[in-house]
Chain A
Amino acid sequence: MRWIASLIALSVASLLVGFVWLPSVHADFTARGLWDAICRAAGVPTAWSDGGLAKSGPRTTEVVFTPEMARAGSADSIGRGGTAATQQCSMCHGARGVSAANAPNLAGQYAEVIIKQLMDYRRGDRQSAAMRALSVDLTDANIRDLAAYYASLPRPRNTPVTNMATVPPLVKVGDPMRNIAPCASCHGGIEQRLGTPWLEGMPKDYLVEQLAAFASGERRNDSHAQMRNMARALTKKEIDEVATFYARAAAE
């Protein structure tokens, strides 16, 4: 009995030394008090510092992608979207979603991409005088209809790559030492990730402008700064190179 009691006492004493006293000597130790230290050892999230998990920094986006957003819309939804699109969108984005005005093509764009961008325009998370005005009165249902309509249109395709050597290295392998992931690992080719837009055939000017905006931080509605971190590392020449690659069908 005495043995068990001394074993328990020894364990408690070592725990206090290891998790409360020794860490508290470090200047960067943030736990305040005994209870915080216990929570930290147990892995229970707690308000380490004042104010808990306060969100700080500029707002980026509120949209979280779910596979449900990517599902094909019903015929009714596509019909309603088509009607709205003809009235509101076709001036810049083209009658069938392919732009002749350096606005992004929307034909065949993934539904969740359009949903996210419209929601970001509506909240002001993505800046554009024209798009803000056009999106501010849209309901969630309107947005889903527009996305369903554009996703149902045939998407423009680049001339197929027959020789992999002609693909810019940044597109297929990125630049690991500069922390640049290959474009194709999200935008299709290697993998098409939920929420990443279809880029083939996009107007080159639009792609260059957006990459520059990501690089400068002027556009920041990419969650976790995914695109800003890529674009910041690119030179002007590299931006031109990848934009030319993705735009090449449109240029022909």
Chain B
Amino acid sequence: MFLARRLVLAHFWVAFAAFGVAILLGEWQMYVRSPLAPWIDNPEHYYRSVTAHGTVMAYVLPTLVAMGFGYAITELALKRPLVGMRWAWGGFWLVIAGTVMASIPMALGQASVLYTFYPPMIASPLYYLGVVLVVVGSWIWVALMSVNLRAWRKENPGATIPLAMFGNVAGAYLWAWTSVGAALEILLLILPVALGFKDTIDAGLARVFFSWTLHAIVYFWLMPTYIAFYTIVPRAIGGRLYSDTMARVSFVLFLVFSMPIGMHHLFADPHIGAGFKFVHAMMTAMVSVPTLMTVFTIVASVEIAARLRGGKGPFGWVKALPWDNPVMLAVTFSFVMLGFGGAGGIINMSYQLNETVHNTQWVTGHFHLIFGGAIVIMYFVVAYELWPQLTGCKPLPAGAVRTQLWLWFVGMLVLTAPWHLVGILGMPRRMAYYDYSNPALAGQAWTVVASVIGGAILVVAALLFIWILWRARRGETEAAPFTFSVPAHPTHTPALLNGFALWVGMMIALTVVNYGFPIAQLALLPETSVPAVFMGGR
């Protein structure tokens, strides 16, 4: 089994190498805008770095991890060789080509528009084409996931799709539809301007298209993490999955509710009607449902593990948990960060509360805590769990792995807690420097230093992560066959939760209902175009 070994390794190595570079950029950004450094002479260098950090962390890292993990799941859960290996390599090379293509204008300062594009700012067309190639590469993965599932179903008519594959394909379909928003923005609005066919751009419409992608992309990043929660954690700590059905319900709920909520990123945008903002805010509240269900199910699964190990009492079982097991540690850290980050997210999605934190460092704190914290720490777990399978190495050194997870957790809290605090005080985000000599800001200077320290801890954790993977020797032993979690009770999976037709249909229908009118009316209004602002000057 496992013909896709080299394929998965290639995806993971490129993802983690890019991650290692981008995290250094992040820490540099934190340092230059702190009181420890003089003001940066050329603020454009700062935005260049922010663009590269965001592009790698938001597009390259999670896409490659999701793709690599997806190929691994296909072979491990379906227990059959991957169909379409050549296509998979093609997709991989497209992602690499796109990354290189986007990096060149970014490094030259011709694409400092941040990864969220922000029209009417217009970067070099190479940057957008690079991002398009990354997305097209990932679409090949989406198609392959679908093809492999179909091939498996043909061989196993009527069988229940293994949970890991179910989540994996849900994530693939989620991404396919999510990425359409940004793809439309780039192809219809941005590229014609970047290539010089047009001088003006409908910035409002472009923002609406991007919001379609911008929030749901987070759930695409989240999917590998949730798959790990449900299918790796209970097994790794010696427990059972409390409910397989609950897992499937939360996967399909993400599919349905991820897309039609993106306008909560546009609460301050005047071109969106108050009614649509309200509807999107309400729907955003709905995505807390699958997350709360997941927290419940995983805590219940963890309790099963504790009781199997002899844990007693309503709370006494917590002591019986295998706290020296890195996966136990990671899932705890992940839930703590998910808890804080999620609570912050509910504040962000509330129409009125959003006013106080909109475009402040609070938002930066929120998405670093959720993505960099809760999600990425489980990417580490996925890599640690798969590494013996991929390389045939001996078990990874548990002490170093625990240290790495602790450093990442502590570093992320030290980085983001001050951001949340100063965000409430009104510190704007996306600033290359702050005037700490001003009495109004002097009191906030220490928080930025604290974040620099948090960032430094994260850099150490990232380097330790790469070192642990790097020093694992290839081919030392033949790894035991990989297993996924087993449900605690025999499950009967309803037919609706053994397929995607209804849920994909609902996903598309809700998107059309919630986005159709705003997109149509902005597209038809003649007076919404503004002159483009080209980056990189002349």
A interface residues, Cβ below 8 angstroms from B: 15, 18-19, 39-45, 64-68, 164, 167, 169, 172-173, 175-177, 182, 184-185, 188-194
B43 & A190 in contact (Cβ 8 Å cutoff): yes
A-contacting residues, B482-538, CB 8 Å: 517-518, 521, 525, 531-538
Contact of B535 among A18, A66, A176, A191 (CB under 8 A): A191
Which listed residue (B435, B518, B531) contacts A43, Cβ 8 A? Answer: B518
Q: A177-B438, A193-B533 are in contact. Are A15 and B275 (CB under 8 A)?
A: yes
Residue of B nearest to A175 (CB): B435
CB of A113 to closest CB in B, whole Å: 12
Residue pair B531, A192 in contact (C-beta under 8 Å): no
Q: Mark B443-472, 1 if CB is under 8 A from A, else 0.
A: 000000000000000000000000000000
**Cβ–Cβ < 8 Å partners of B517 in chain A:** 42
- 0/1 string, B110-154, CB within 8 A of A gives 1: 000000000000000000000000000000000000000000000
Cβ of A67 and Cβ of B532 under 8 Å apart? yes
In the complex, what residues of B have CB within 8 A of residue A184's CB?
A: 42
Task: Tell me whether B157 is interfacial, beta carbon within 8 Å.
Answer: no
Picked from B434, B531, B536, the residue with its CB within 8 Å of the CB of A176 is B434
Residues on B with C-beta less than 8 A from A15 are 275
A177 to B273, Cβ gap below 8 A?
A: no
Of all chain A residues, the one with the shortest Cβ separation from B272 is A43
**5 interchain residue pairs of minimum CB distance:** A43-B273, A41-B275, A192-B537, A66-B199, A42-B273
Pull 16 A–B residue pairs with CB atoms less than 8 Å apart, ordered by A: A15-B275, A43-B272, A43-B273, A44-B521, A45-B525, A67-B532, A67-B534, A167-B41, A172-B42, A173-B39, A173-B43, A176-B435, A177-B435, A189-B42, A192-B537, A194-B534
Chain B residues within an 8 Å CB radius of A18: 278
B273 touches A68 (CB 8 A): no
Interchain nearest-CB distance for A140 vs B (Å)? 17
Question: Is B273 a contact of A44 with CB atoms below 8 Å?
Answer: yes
Using known A-B contacts A45-B525, A68-B199, determine if residue A177 contacts B440 with beta carbons closer than 8 Å. yes
Is A40's CB under 8 angstroms from B273's CB?
A: yes
| 366-380 of chain B: CB within 8 A of chain A | none
Q: How far is the CB of B125 from chain A (nearest CB, A)?
A: 14
Residues of B with C-beta under 8 A to A185: 43-44
Taking CB as reference atom, which chain B residue is nearest A191? Answer: B537
Q: How far is the CA of A66 from the CA of B518 in the complex (A)?
A: 27
Cα–Cα distance between A68 and B275 once the two chains are bound (Å)? 39
A92 to chain B, nearest CB (A): 27
User: CA separation between A18 and B41, bound complex, in Å?
Assistant: 50
A233 to chain B minimum Cβ distance, whole angstroms, is 14
Nearest-Cβ distance from residue A170 to partner chain B, whole angstroms = 12
> Are B521 and A42 in contact, CB atoms less than 8 angstroms apart?
yes
CA distance A41 to B40 in the complex (A): 44
Q: How far does the Cβ of A145 sit from chain B's closest Cβ, in whole Å?
A: 21
Residues of B near A177 (CB, < 8 A) are 435, 438, 440-441
- Taking CB atoms, residues of chain B closer than 8 Å to A193 are 533, 537
Tell me the nearest residue of chain B to A18, going by C-beta. Answer: B278
Identify the closest chain B residue to A40 (Cβ): B274
Q: Taking the nearest CB of chain B, how far is it from the CB of A110, in angstroms?
A: 8
Q: How large is the interface on B (under 10, 10 to 19, 20 to 34, 35 or more residues)?
A: 35 or more
Docked CA distance A194–B538 (Å): 9
Smallest Cβ-Cβ distance to A186: which chain B residue: B537
Residue B433 CB within 8 A of the other chain: yes
Q: Answer whether A42 and B438 are a contact pair too, CB < 8 Å, given A67-B199, A190-B43.
A: no
Best-buried of A64, A177, A185 by chain B (most CB within 10 Å): A177
A residues within 8 A CB of B13?
none
**Are A19 and B275 neighbours in the complex by a CB distance under 8 Å?**
yes
A235–B199 Cα distance when bound, in Å, is 37
CA distance A65 to B438 in the complex (A): 37
Is B309 part of the contact surface with A, judged by Cβ < 8 Å? no
Inter-chain pairs besides A39-B273, A43-B275, 12 sampled, C-beta below 8 Å: A15-B275, A42-B517, A42-B521, A43-B273, A43-B274, A66-B200, A173-B43, A176-B434, A177-B440, A182-B43, A192-B537, A194-B534
A64, closest chain B residue (CB):
B531
Q: Is B28 an interface residue (CB 8 A)?
A: no
In the complex, whether B276 has a CB less than 8 A from a CB of chain A is: yes
Q: How many angstroms from the CA of A175 to the CA of B43 in the assembled complex? A: 13
Measured between alpha carbons, how far is A193 from B440 in the docked complex, in Å? 32
Q: Is B292 an interface residue, CB under 8 A from the partner?
A: no
Q: Which residues of B contact A192 (CB under 8 A)?
A: 537-538
**A200, chain B: closest CB distance, angstroms:** 14
Rounded to whole angstroms, the CA-CA distance of A190 and B537 in the bound complex is 9
- B196 contacts which chain A residues (CB < 8 A)? 67
Alpha-carbon distance between A172 and B433 when the two chains are bound, in angstroms: 12
B201 to chain A, nearest CB (A): 12
User: B431 an interface residue at 8 Å Cβ cutoff?
Assistant: yes
Residues of A within 8 A of B440 (CB): 177
- A177, B276: Cα distance in complex, Å: 35
B271 touches A (CB below 8 Å): yes
Min Cβ gap B168→A in Å is 35
Q: Complex Cα distance A66/B200, Å?
A: 8
Question: Which among A15, A67, A172 has the highest number of chain B CB atoms within 10 Å?
Answer: A67
Is the Cβ of A43 less than 8 Å from the Cβ of B276? yes
Bound complex: CA A173 to CA B538 (Å): 20
Known A-B contacts A173-B43, A176-B431, A176-B433; the reply to A66 vs B537 at CB < 8 A is no
Name which residue of chain B comes closest to A69, CB basis. B199
Q: Return the chain B residue nearest A42 by Cβ.
A: B273
B434 shortest CB reach to chain A, Å: 7
Q: Which residues of A contact B43 (CB under 8 A)?
A: 173, 182, 185, 190
Of the residues B41, B273, B535, B537, contact of A172 by C-beta under 8 Å: B41
- Which residues from chain B contact A65 at a C-beta distance below 8 Å? 531
Q: Mark B187-212, 1 if CB is under 8 A from A, else 0.
A: 00000000010011000000000000
Q: A185 to B438: give the CA distance in the assembly, Å.
A: 22
**Shortest CB distance B494–A (Å):** 22
Q: A39–B274 Cα gap in the complex (Å)? A: 9
Q: Pick from A40, A173, A189, A191 the residue with the most CB of B within 10 Å.
A: A191
Bound CA–CA A65/B40 (angstroms): 30
Min C-beta distance of B195 to chain A, whole Å: 12
A194 to B533, CA, bound (A): 8
Residue of A nearest to B200 (CB): A66
Contacts of B199 in A (CB 8 A): 66-68
| Complex contacts, B532 vs chain A, CB 8 Å | 67
B521, A164: Cβ atoms under 8 Å?
A: no
Contacts of B431 in A (CB 8 A): 176
Nearest-Cβ distance from residue A34 to partner chain B, whole angstroms: 13
- Chain B residue at smallest Cβ distance from A23: B274
- Kindly identify, within residues 35 to 50 of chain B, every residue whose CB is under 8 Å from any CB belonging to chain A: 39-44
Contact A41–B39 (Cβ < 8 Å) = no
For B391-412 the 0/1 string (1 means CB < 8 A from A) is 0000000000000000000000
Chain A residue numbers with a CB within 8 Å of B536 are: 191
In the docked arrangement, what's the CA distance between A68 and B196, Å? Answer: 10
Name A192's closest neighbour in chain B (CB-CB). Answer: B537
